[in-house]
Amino acid sequence: MLIEAFCSVRGQTEKIASPFSPEDQQLQSMTDASPVKWHLAHGSWFFETFILAEFASRFEWFDEHFCYLFNSYYNALGQQFPRAQRGLMSRPGLERVMQYRKQVTAHVLDLLRDCDDGLFGKLAASLVLGLNHEQQHQELIMTDISHALLYRDGEQGPPVSGQSIRLNSSEGKSAADGWLDFAGGEAITGYQGQGFCFDNELAAHPELLQPFQIASHPVSNADWIEFMDAGGYDDPLLWLSDGWAWKTKNSIRCPLYWRRVDGNWRHNTLAGPEAETSDRAVSHVSYYEADAFASWKKARLPREGEWELAARSHAWETNHEPGRKPDNIRRPGQSIHELAFHDLALHDPGQCWEWTQSAYCAYPRFQVSPGMAAEYNGKFMVNQMVLKGASRATASFHSRASYRNFFYPDARWQFTSLRLARDAG
Amino acid sequence: MLIEAFCSVRGQTEKIASPFSPEDQQLQSMTDASPVKWHLAHGSWFFETFILAEFASRFEWFDEHFCYLFNSYYNALGQQFPRAQRGLMSRPGLERVMQYRKQVTAHVLDLLRDCDDGLFGKLAASLVLGLNHEQQHQELIMTDISHALLYRDGEQGPPVSGQSIRLNSSEGKSAADGWLDFAGGEAITGYQGQGFCFDNELAAHPELLQPFQIASHPVSNADWIEFMDAGGYDDPLLWLSDGWAWKTKNSIRCPLYWRRVDGNWRHNTLAGPEAETSDRAVSHVSYYEADAFASWKKARLPREGEWELAARSHAWETNHEPGRKPDNIRRPGQSIHELAFHDLALHDPGQCWEWTQSAYCAYPRFQVSPGMAAEYNGKFMVNQMVLKGASRATASFHSRASYRNFFYPDARWQFTSLRLARDAG
Amino acid sequence: MLIEAFCSVRGQTEKIASPFSPEDQQLQSMTDASPVKWHLAHGSWFFETFILAEFASRFEWFDEHFCYLFNSYYNALGQQFPRAQRGLMSRPGLERVMQYRKQVTAHVLDLLRDCDDGLFGKLAASLVLGLNHEQQHQELIMTDISHALLYRDGEQGPPVSGQSIRLNSSEGKSAADGWLDFAGGEAITGYQGQGFCFDNELAAHPELLQPFQIASHPVSNADWIEFMDAGGYDDPLLWLSDGWAWKTKNSIRCPLYWRRVDGNWRHNTLAGPEAETSDRAVSHVSYYEADAFASWKKARLPREGEWELAARSHAWETNHEPGRKPDNIRRPGQSIHELAFHDLALHDPGQCWEWTQSAYCAYPRFQVSPGMAAEYNGKFMVNQMVLKGASRATASFHSRASYRNFFYPDARWQFTSLRLARDAG
Amino acid sequence: MLIEAFCSVRGQTEKIASPFSPEDQQLQSMTDASPVKWHLAHGSWFFETFILAEFASRFEWFDEHFCYLFNSYYNALGQQFPRAQRGLMSRPGLERVMQYRKQVTAHVLDLLRDCDDGLFGKLAASLVLGLNHEQQHQELIMTDISHALLYRDGEQGPPVSGQSIRLNSSEGKSAADGWLDFAGGEAITGYQGQGFCFDNELAAHPELLQPFQIASHPVSNADWIEFMDAGGYDDPLLWLSDGWAWKTKNSIRCPLYWRRVDGNWRHNTLAGPEAETSDRAVSHVSYYEADAFASWKKARLPREGEWELAARSHAWETNHEPGRKPDNIRRPGQSIHELAFHDLALHDPGQCWEWTQSAYCAYPRFQVSPGMAAEYNGKFMVNQMVLKGASRATASFHSRASYRNFFYPDARWQFTSLRLARDAG
């Protein structure tokens, strides 16, 4: 089954990249983003380094220089090509990167087919980590190429020429107002199941929550237009101090990829300007904007533990009783796609990650993964904020209630939205 | 009694500033810092705006333009003179600023002497806030002028000329190794007493803590030299990713104001190079450095709640029993100077604020102060880290166990140190 | 006579600085400018280094550290305090700098009074250089303190508080239109007299000039307003490419210190807003702006040699005959104040340096001064443009027709104006 | 014959670009440089705009959006895509750009074949300008792609992977020492022939030159190594002030693309590390470096007029007589490749442009071209220095003695060298 998953994930990555030309795949429009071609190679480097180099007999590097080019940030594994210059990497060309992928995939499959239970027991954890890692980069491929192709579209002057790329897209669902009540108490935060999770989701631990309410739906595009019309971007009293400075310096007036055309707001996407989507969750807002919106609504963003508790509440999903402590509070680990919030569906075209007011930091008794993956998550635990949920670009079955996504508070190129919360009781 | 406190605090501010020439008092060596003269004026602006303009009859501004010059960041009160240019404010001169102080002090005293209980009831809270506010700026005066006069001292080339300023200083106490044990459980975090606290210390709330240990003493200069000698500044695996980038970009090799002279480390201060102080708490380290040190020691920084619990533990102070839950866990609000950690004494010349691993964010049910002071604390709740305790430059009786100081993780010009913690049980 | 000149120049510098407080005198509002106090000390450092240290018996430095603090850019004389941080030099205070001046002046006078003809012959050249040097800094004191006190005045928001400084000022003279004709031919450019000149004015050399016309008056404020009203700042076709980029990046809309008040243009000065001065030469424009204005007028800026020839033309001044080659073309070296252009008068309150289209470069057979003054002029011969004439802030008898002032093309804080020229014949 | 020239130039551009992959051709490694693909398209845009749109009947734009994308800097023709982001232009892809070239070439040929003498008379000047323009971009293609592929090679860490590109290369000629003497006098500077020249080469005008000497050969790699070994990069007294600041800020220690390998200097090129080339002209030095080298040699760079006079001296080339005024001083306009300096040969593999000490400014009576080409040269006449000659990458018969190339004094990615000069007589 791991063999099928491996084939499926590797194939899916290539499928996501396939609509883009070699020239598109080389673009890097900001330091935070990477070229598609780099993502394709980096995923293979991960398997080559953590699986083949560790476990394969008669191992040889595809190209030793790739260890420098496609190592993202693992200092324990050596120096890295400067991140800000990945867009200047015309060599290797895409064709050679695809050969790299093909060979690594083949060698991993050879290894998996030949290995006995003992070896399998040793490598399985790294392999599953590699698959989850590659899924994360699938999402980054989408957000990074979106930025590279769309970022100029909000500016004055005609956009970069070229046809739109057709992506699957379906209509959003109609949103309804509503607050969900939670009585608070001792909740378990973090991953508790038997499956895979990242080191940063551990240790699962009890946390005391005060009574709170959380919105049944994320903030919609229509809500956001109301905020803009009310002067939300012009009132410093709504904003965090750092947020106001950021907004002012960058002349932020609306979400990323939004543009005013003939008096209407247009949201541009890789599939072209979006049709009317006022019910859909607003997307591409920074933490700063999300926080200002919440202030304007005299509400706040949920804490990570609140969000997680709410997302796990089965009862609450189908039969919401205000104030009732969810009975499944100790059954975490289910896919966020299966339960979660009212409007969370598998690949809802409007689905977004949701900012929480929790800074990304270590859980009590957090331990970084042993071995080479030690630098995976822990070293980023400062200056970033936690996002929960999943987005339209997240791989199926990749996320879960305990999943901790994290970005700097000014990041906007991910599919980022928000859901309001407030104190209760 | 409030009248005496008012006179005492106002006088103390002026005493702190008095050794410095008008030219010294105009210096602004970085955007984060302000000139002493500006601090002197700003404290008066605070009382003028929040007390006199609100409550005095026949009120007139000393100089209306000062509302622009000396408003720090209160957007609700109008535009502000650009922070980065405060050092270019030669006018008003120091003499006029001292007149401003004198008049504001006199008018507040007039008001206090004349006012009836009704009025007093209304203004007392603002007055106490103003006094605590002014005490905060007393500390900033010391740290900002230190930076202005010392920051070039670590560089090659002779320092800025001028005699040292004599400050009171006594010898540090000898440090001893030792871990203090705490069993964890439900602790109250935040302020619970009847006295003054800032809005960000509320609401006091129960928090679940895991068993932990905390060091009886902060990390010393001798410890830090050991860290440097062991190559701590050269090993990326010890550092947070943002910290390593910061360290590299700024060529950080030692704490601020440290300088290598003839093979020895010299710590420069306003009173001149320090005498041998190896037992004293290391000072002027950033959060990034503190975190790297803790990693090197295979420990971590304490969480805010852990630090607060430990600081309140009377039993622990005098009669430490490992694993015992402090019986005074519900008696917070006492001055940190009275109980606290073993080596915390009133105005210990080596005393420092201590970094915690907690990001500065809102406590559950946090509400910003109503009225004009709404911008005091809440709008800074992103990107900063909490520090606990007090420093040699903190006003007496100003701090307490629930006090939340906060700075960006790269800040080093405050008296910042660290104390190790680790998981237990 | 040199003794009187020395006393007079030294005294004049101190007189110019005297209206400003110690706090004013410490201001440095941009890297290009220096604090008044620094100028005061630097002039003394120059005499101490080039006269006293060289020629005085029993010489001792006033303070050795001053060699580091007040050396401007003479690498041959050792390291320098970073230019950009001169505003952070609160120590030495102004009082000590004035003692420094007093002692250096006294010691130079002692030396001059005691020295025999032999010694005098050796030191005279350095002394005269020192006097001319100090006069240059007299002008910089005025322009630098102006920038420090006025630069914020064009911005939104109230200006820095403080009373205006009263400077002598008289009304401008009425301007009249008119072109002066020159037939071209072989002209001598550069200094030819027996008096003092800087190394960069040599060697005087013949230069072939084409027939040209030059305006009898510089461009006036009224002319400039016409240019602005005609959209001169909005038409890229008028501008040099670097100029347009500079203008756009810095949102330049008018000369420095100009501000639109109630529909009128106000020019701010140290003496307060100027009265109606439409006939006065426009001031505080960059080379880029000057060049754009000339393009708009379908004219050009004069070349350095053209300007110099015109300035020397006595005939032309009193009895202008078009096309006639001035008969005094070989009598240069007279003060620019004595002959020069029609509207050039001693300390005309509107007088300005005038941009030429000549880049500042070496004259044929240029040799840098021997000895310590080698770095005075030559090392700046790239990226700057020549200005001719003198300004209201130039010391009397300091300038001459061959004088080569130079600044970067974006500099605006000097008293800079322009005069049109065009091809003829 | 113009038809053949057109075909040849267009074909040559494509031949130069052909060794590079579509991904290579998209690289932009700094703002000053452009992607090869952009150059390919821009050359076509020039013909489409200045020839087809002006003179063709039934004209239609290939793609109207290309007017925005591929207009370099002609403000009169509308807004331009931001220069610094040309590397983010994945669309149009290279394939479409090649279609664009093909169609423009075909349409121009159609026009040329069909047009009568009257029309030809009108368009010939623009066509020749277009050809010379395209030749300029041929050189830029080589220098820009070189920078993109080589610029990281001097840094620590392995270079970008990929095979070297084979370029034609032959051995340099042996250099010999020697100064050529010129008596000075009145020389004609600027273009005087009947052929094509750029507007900035006019008007040809007499210029007075002092007696001078100029080196028969440019400075060689061996000379440069001597300069480095003598500490030339460490002595501020050799450098212009701006040059020293530039050198220090950018940690410049050697020419661009040079790298120290095992104690030897390696010059990297697109064809791989160069073989021993100590006699070859040093390449890839900035004006600042060139000026410092000349100072070290107690010489100077030639003035533009001096260089031009020397380059025209036929007698001097074949039969050099010191002090003799060249008899062909009034026969300019011959190709630089035909006469010129001793070591200047057609496509000498070591040939370089040579810095002069002349700032790039307008010649007397300079007039910008009328019409749309007005922005071609004139608007760059500030802040740049003139280079004379031609380089290995210059198109055959493209340059001439009056040719004025110009770059900022810090530019190093062109094939730039120097030749010494000094005063004589």
Q: Quick: pLDDT tens for D277-293.
A: 788 999 999 999 999 99
Cα D357 to Cα D291: distance, rounded to the nearest angstrom: 8
pLDDT digit string, tens, across residues A56-100: 999 999 999 999 999 999 999 999 999 999 999 999 999 999 999
Cα A357 to Cα A402: distance, rounded to the nearest angstrom: 15
The mean pLDDT of A275-279, rounded to a whole number, is 74
For the beta carbon of residue C336, count every other beta carbon within 10 angstroms.
23
For the beta carbon of residue D276, count every other beta carbon within 10 angstroms.
11
pLDDT cut 90: percent of chain D above it: 75
| Residue with token string 């039934």 | D58
Cα B6 to Cα B109: distance, rounded to the nearest angstrom: 8
Written as one letter, the residue type at A14 is E
- Residue from D91, D96, D99, D151 to probe the interface with A (highest A Cβ count within 10 Å): D91
pLDDT digit string, tens, across residues C272-322: 887 667 889 999 999 999 999 999 999 999 999 999 999 987 433 433 333
Give the bridge partners for A259, in sequence order: A266
pLDDT digit string, tens, across residues A101-115: 999 999 999 999 999
Structure tokens at A150: 């769309």
Q: Do A90 and D29 touch (CB under 8 A)?
A: no
Contacts of A242 in chain B (CB under 8 A): 380, 382-383
pLDDT of residue B349: 66
Helix (H) or strand (E) holding A353: strand A353-359
pLDDT digit string, tens, across residues A1-32: 899 999 999 999 999 999 999 999 999 999 99
pLDDT of residue C122: 93
pLDDT at A320 over 90: no
The mean pLDDT of B134-146, rounded to a whole number, is 97
For the beta carbon of residue C167, count every other beta carbon within 10 angstroms.
16
Q: Do B21 and C93 touch (CB under 8 A)?
A: yes
Q: Where are the beta strands (DSSP E) in A79-129?
A: none
Q: What angle do CA B257, B261, B262 make, to 5 degrees?
A: 165
Average pLDDT of chain C, as a whole number: 87
Tens-binned pLDDT, residue by residue, of chain C (425 aa) = 899 999 999 999 999 999 999 999 999 999 999 999 999 999 999 999 999 999 999 999 999 999 999 999 999 999 999 999 999 999 999 999 999 999 999 999 999 999 999 999 999 999 999 999 999 999 999 999 999 999 876 443 334 433 333 332 222 233 345 899 999 999 999 999 889 999 999 999 999 999 999 999 999 999 999 999 999 999 999 999 999 999 999 999 999 999 888 888 888 888 888 766 788 999 999 999 999 999 999 999 999 999 999 998 743 343 333 333 333 332 333 333 333 363 333 346 679 999 999 999 999 999 999 888 899 999 999 999 999 999 999 998 899 999 999 999 999 999 999 999 999 98
Written as one letter, the residue type at D394 is T
Written as one letter, the residue type at B211 is P
Nearest to C130 by CA among C108, C148, C113: C108
pLDDT of residue D418: 97
Torsions phi, psi for B305 (to 5 deg): -65, -35
Structure tokens at B274: 């320090």
Least confident of A298-307, A316-325, B99-108, C204-213: A316-325
Estimate to the nearest angstrom the gap between the alpha carbon of A387 and the chain centroid: 8
* Radius of gyration for the alpha carbons in chain D, expressed in angstroms and rounded: 22
Contacts of A358 in chain B (CB under 8 A): 361
Least confident of A172-176, C173-177, D227-231, D381-385: A172-176
pLDDT of residue A153: 63
Cα C59 to Cα C53: distance, rounded to the nearest angstrom: 6
Report CA dihedral (B330, B336, B338, B340) to the nearest 10 degrees.
Answer: 80
Cα D20 to Cα D37: distance, rounded to the nearest angstrom: 10
For the beta carbon of residue D179, count every other beta carbon within 10 angstroms.
15
Structure tokens at B390: 């007090």
| Residue with token string 């006019």 | D202
pLDDT of residue C152: 76
pLDDT of residue B346: 38
Separation in Å, CA of D266 to nearest CA in chain A: 21
Q: Do B88 and C27 touch (CB under 8 A)?
A: yes
Asked if residues B153 and B271 have their Cβ atoms less than 8 Å apart, the reply is no
pLDDT of residue C275: 62
pLDDT of residue B275: 62
Q: Do A382 and B242 touch (CB under 8 A)?
A: yes
Asked if residues B286 and B260 have their Cβ atoms less than 8 Å apart, the reply is no
Asked if residues B284 and B415 have their Cβ atoms less than 8 Å apart, the reply is yes
Q: How confident is the model at residue A146 (pLDDT cuts 50, 70, 90)?
A: very high
Average pLDDT of chain D, as a whole number: 87
Higher pLDDT, D190 or C168: D190
- Residue from B30, B40, B88, B96 to probe the interface with C (highest C Cβ count within 10 Å): B88
The mean pLDDT of A367-376, rounded to a whole number, is 89
- Subunits that touch chain D (at least 3 Cβ pairs < 8 angstroms)? A, C
pLDDT at B380 over 80: yes
pLDDT at A170 over 80: no
Contacts of B152 in chain C (CB under 8 A): 85, 88
Estimate to the nearest angstrom the gap between the alpha carbon of A182 and the chain centroid: 26
Strand A353-359, strand A416-417: pairing: parallel
pLDDT of residue D140: 98
Torsions phi, psi for A107 (to 5 deg): -70, -35
Helix (H) or strand (E) holding D295: helix D287-296
Peptide bond into B92 cis (omega under 30): yes
pLDDT of residue A372: 82
Strand D416-417, strand D353-359: pairing: parallel
pLDDT digit string, tens, across residues D214-224: 999 999 999 99
Cα D359 to Cα C361: distance, rounded to the nearest angstrom: 8
| Residue with token string 């300091």 | C398
pLDDT of residue A346: 38
pLDDT of residue B276: 61
- In terms of Cβ atoms closer than 10 Å to its own Cβ (0-12, 13-18, 19+), residue B193 is middle
- Subunits that touch chain A (at least 3 Cβ pairs < 8 angstroms)? B, D
Length of chain B: 425
The mean pLDDT of A116-134, rounded to a whole number, is 95
As a 3-state breakdown, chain C gives helix, strand, coil percent values, each rounded to 5, of 40, 10, 50
Query: Which residues of chain A have a Cβ shorter than 8 Å from any chain D Cβ?
Result: 21-24, 26-27, 29, 63, 65-66, 68-69, 79, 81, 85, 87-94, 148-149, 152, 157-158, 160-162
Cα D135 to Cα D39: distance, rounded to the nearest angstrom: 11
Alpha helices in B334-389 (DSSP H): none
pLDDT of residue D151: 82
pLDDT at A173 over 60: no
Q: Is B41 in a helix, a strand, or coil?
A: helix
Compute the half-sphere exposure of residue B287: CA atoms within 13 Å on the CB side of its CA: 25
pLDDT of residue D306: 96
Q: Do B152 and C85 touch (CB under 8 A)?
A: yes
- Residue from A73, A241, A309, A407 to probe the interface with B (highest B Cβ count within 10 Å): A241
pLDDT cut 90: percent of chain B above it: 75
pLDDT of residue D277: 76
Cα D20 to Cα D17: distance, rounded to the nearest angstrom: 6
Please report the DSSP string for D266-329 in residue order: EEEETTEE----TTSBP-S--HHHHHHHHHHTT-BPPPHHHHHHHHH-HHHHHS--TTPPPTTT
Asked if residues D200 and D378 have their Cβ atoms less than 8 Å apart, the reply is yes
pLDDT digit string, tens, across residues B260-279: 888 888 888 888 887 667 88
Average pLDDT of chain B, as a whole number: 87
CA–CA distances in Å: residue D202 to residues C324, C420, D304, D404: 26, 22, 14, 10
User: Nearest-CA residue of chain C relative to B159?
Assistant: C65
pLDDT of residue A263: 84
Give the bridge partners for D422, in sequence order: D213
Between A and D, how many CB-CB pairs are < 8 A?
86
Cα B179 to Cα B213: distance, rounded to the nearest angstrom: 6
